[in-house]
């Protein structure tokens, strides 16, 4: 299946150059030269990935990013930026960008990022979620640590599945309650701690290294 990439870049020559290279790699490419057209195209054509220049006439790349995320659009977004300040990067990631490439960039670098993000989306769509030596099969509902099969209850499975769909992201207790328990939990959230403890016992039964980390006062993160 050909991946569709939307490139929003106001420097016409650069846009043309990147378009040609992406097409050469076999991607279907759409181009927009200003922010508003970019946002509209992203919403209407539902691309598989968006490459967004930061400084654009009309609407900035950052603003496009925010608007797409505010409507729940999860499309992978790579920001192109001439800015190389740490605070700018943070602003970009805060706005919901998945990655950024600093101008001037090498084409190889951009292509590598594009491939990595498209691969990630494809993995997210598949039945098998994997992190380190931990794997979860959504259709057979089997969980393995290496070759060891782990028996989980339905709720433990749901909780682990949710963590596995958001690796390396700190997830708050409130979000876990909403997503895994499906209701606004008014009481204390000890229930999550209890389930996390069960999960850890089962995942680390052979002294395997811990993958579910506690972020004190906030929640949990799946991290080595
Ligand atoms: Ca620009």
Per run of 10 residues, the mean pLDDT along the chain (length 224 residues) is 92 96 95 97 95 94 94 91 75 87 91 91 76 90 93 94 91 86 63 93 95 93 92
The protein residues having their C-beta less than 5 angstroms from ligand 1 (an ion) are 10, 53, 55
- C-alpha distances in Å from residue 29, one per residue of 21, 45, 77: 10, 11, 14
Q: What fold does the segment set 4-125 form as a domain?
A: Rossmann fold (3.40.50)
pLDDT of residue 21: 96
Secondary structure of 81-106 in HEC code, one letter for each residue: ECCCCHHHHHHHHHCCCCEEEECCCC
pLDDT at position 150: 96
Q: Encoding tokens for residue 31?
A: 């181009």
pLDDT confidence of residue 219: 92
Please give the distance, rounded to the nearest whole angstrom, from the Cα atom of residue 64 to the centre of ligand 1: 13
pLDDT value of position 189: 62
- Kindly list the domain boundaries of the chain, sorted by start residue: 4-125, 129-222
As a whole number of angstroms, the distance between CA 49 and CA 46 comes to 9
Amino acid 124: pLDDT: 63
Looking at domain 129-222, its CATH architecture is Orthogonal Bundle (1.10)
CA of 177 to the centre of ligand 1 (A): 41
The DSSP bridge partners found for residue 145 are 134, 148
pLDDT of residue 188: 59
Q: Are 4-125 and 129-222 in the same CATH fold?
A: no
- What's the pTM value of the predicted model, to 2 decimals? 0.58
What is the CA(34)–ligand 1 centre distance, in A? Answer: 9
């Amino acid at each position: 299946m050909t991946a569709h990439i939307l490139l929003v870049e106001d420097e016409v020559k650069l846009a043309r150059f990147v378009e040609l290279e992406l097409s050469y790699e076999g991607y279907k490419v759409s181009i927009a030269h200003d922010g508003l057209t970019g946002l509209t195209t992203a919403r209407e054509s539902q691309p598989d990935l968006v490459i967004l220049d930061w400084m654009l006439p009309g609407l900035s790349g950052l603003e496009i990013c925010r608007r797409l995320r505010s409507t729940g659009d999860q499309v992978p977004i790579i920001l192109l930026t001439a800015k190389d300040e740490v605070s700018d990067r943070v602003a970009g990631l805060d706005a919901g960008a998945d990655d950024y490439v600093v101008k001037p960039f090498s084409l190889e670098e951009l292509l590598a990022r594009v491939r990595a993000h498209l691969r990630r989306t494809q993995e997210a769509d598949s039945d098998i979620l994997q992190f380190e030596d931990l794997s979860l099969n959504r259709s057979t509902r089997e969980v393995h640590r290496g070759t060891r099969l782990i028996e989980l209850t339905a709720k433990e499975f749901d909780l682990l599945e949710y963590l596995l769909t958001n690796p390396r992201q700190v997830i708050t207790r409130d979000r876990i309650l909403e997503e895994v328990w499906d209701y606004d939990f008014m009481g204390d959230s000890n229930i999550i701690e209890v389930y996390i403890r069960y999960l850890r016992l089962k995942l680390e039964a052979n002294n395997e290294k811990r993958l579910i980390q506690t972020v004190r006062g906030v929640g949990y993160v799946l991290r080595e």
